[in-house]
Structure 1
């Protein structure tokens, strides 16, 4: 159950970290897959191994352009909408572009999918929607006020999806991702996610910088759990399970200090000196939520979501990719 096969699927943002992992799985399962990406944050090397696959099509286009969206959704049965501008700090520095992509682009995709009669659209929502809510664990129907422009855009997407499902009888499912990590995640640039950033610093023998005292905690989620959730959301039949949102996480919390210890231990098997690298601490980051922990009960009950990877075994599986790919850039 929950396996997508022999379908015509569009993955927006397919050259990104999460999108390319989804495409890899879909191609293994004999789907026809189209990738729509403008390569603003996606990378050609993420889809290099699919380019010559007979069932893979690349459309270089932008979700902010409705014509690109219309072209991409043609004859699709399923749309997995991953395209977005991530990063809280980026949205604080440039709220207009974040809004244009995450809200305007999402609205374009909804309209294009509606007009084409696409059966199911699954979209990447975000744990940032919980905002200043201090309730733990985070339960889908209890959110706080957003703490960043990025969080606002992701919440607006949920509101649009809710309205479109009611007005136009569409099947829409939102997945609130919690701190996803894994192969193909970019370690470079000001807005890199914390795990690849820490890994590339450690490989280079440099001190990773922790914002705050390291006590902040996250529900880190291995990308294969996210791929599973997308497949389940794309195929679930129960009407109760459609036109709603789900947390996609492991349901366990890891502090940044614990995370760094994990990474040092795994990487020191490749290079013993990494165990001795000191950690630097800096000021807390604006817009950061101190703690994040998901309840995954709703996904388990309605989707059959069953995360196979906890943080430890996800890092173990990812670490070889990190070492192979990031040690090259560190060198």
Structure 2
């Protein structure tokens, strides 16, 4: 099968590319390198089964050309920064909704049979049921980021039912690991390098969320995709996360310990009752029972994933 990975030079995308190449797929990557880096995929650049296209998915022609001969699209291209929503909603719209629309329009006239989309736990908003299952409703995002992810899910579903391809949508918890270049662990490490005496923590530190290591994420995506191919559902949704969760303060403690520092913690107090920023979901843990029924489960807990990620980022930066 020939696979296109949009955003394949990014954090999760590049790990997915590694796994697909190791499994023998023909892989093409489309990435504008705004959030990704060629360094993440440099090991494959001269491989006969690998092709890289630098291009912006806001241009329909670029997307159309990238789909030539492709059977499966893993659509990971997006702006990954939740916090940008309050400053630049139009950028989030363009880099999530518009590019997805361009992709779907191009898929109509292509050989693509499957689209796999990485959505986000933020589509649930502040769920009243925790752990939150895939059939939770109503979906009420509290950030622009959550809103554009939900919009992308909806158009994918509409196009799949109308034009006859199959779509698999993953709602991801907080994904962490080597090559990540944003997020709480990355921020803490950089802050402590600048000032080892004090660590500023956004919010009140009690925010509690589920974290999944990128190795478990990619394993889950590929495992569930195999199961989905045998299903007769046109569109299906799976949460990918962890059974446990961890507070921001505990993450700060792990980062400090791994860096052999004892900084004073300075909590900003945050907004709207201790959130890190406007639109930050304070408590998030997804139900992963549906994913587990396919035979997948995370190898690392949230705590183990955090500790391993801190070590990986300290080694690589």
TM-score, length basis structure 2: 0.91
Q: Which residue of 2 aligns with 1:281?
A: 267
Residues of 1 paired with 2:259 and 2:175: CA distance? 20
Q: Distance in 2 between matches of 1:292 and 1:316?
A: 19
Residues of 1 paired with 2:83 and 2:287: CA distance? 26
2:212 to 221, 230, 236: 221
2:274 matched residue in structure 1: none
Q: What CA deviation, in whole Å up to 9, does each residue of 1:190-241 have, x standing for no partner? A: xx31111112333452533222211011111111121012212432233256
SS at match of 1:48: helix
Residues 147-162 of structure 1: pairs in structure 2 closer than 5 A: 147-162=142-157
Match of 1:243 in 2: 235
Mapped contact 2:245–2:302 kept (Cα < 8 A)? no
Q: Distance in 2 between matches of 1:28 and 1:278?
A: 44
**Counterpart in 2 of 1:74?**
68
CA–CA separation in structure 2 for the residues paired with 1:206 and 1:104: 44
Instruction: Give runs of aligned pairs for residues 48-63 of structure 1, distance below 5 A.
Output: 48-63=42-57
Aligned equivalent of 1:129? 123
Tell me the SS of whatever aligns to 2:74.
strand
4+ residue runs over 4 A deviation: none
Change (3 A) 1:278 1:62: same
1:194 aligns with 2:184: yes
What TM-score do you get using the length of structure 1 for normalisation?
0.88
Instruction: Tell me the residue number matched to 1:110.
Output: 104
Unaligned stretches of 5+ residues in structure 2: 271-276
Structure 1's unaligned 5+ residue stretches are 1-6, 187-191, 269-273, 327-331
Tell me: CA distance 1:180–1:278, structure 2 relative to 1, closer, same or farther (3 Å): same
The counterpart of 2:173, out of the listed 165, 170, 178, is 178
CA contact (8 A) 2:211 2:305 kept: no
Q: Which has the higher mean CA deviation after the structures are superposed, 202-211 or 74-83? A: 202-211
Q: Which residue of 1 aligns with 2:273?
A: none
Aligned residues between the structures: 308
Deviations 1:6-50 (A, max 9, x none): x31111001110101111111122221111001111122222222
Shift of 1:178: 0.7
Cα pair 1:32 1:55 within 8 Å, conserved: yes
CA distance in 2, matches of 1:318, 1:89: 21
SS of the residue corresponding to residue 36 of structure 1 reads strand
Deviation (angstroms), 1:127 = 0.5
Task: Tell me how far apart the structure 2 counterparts of residues 22 and 65 of structure 1 sit (CA, whole Å).
Answer: 24
Q: Name the SS for the 2:43 alignment partner.
A: coil
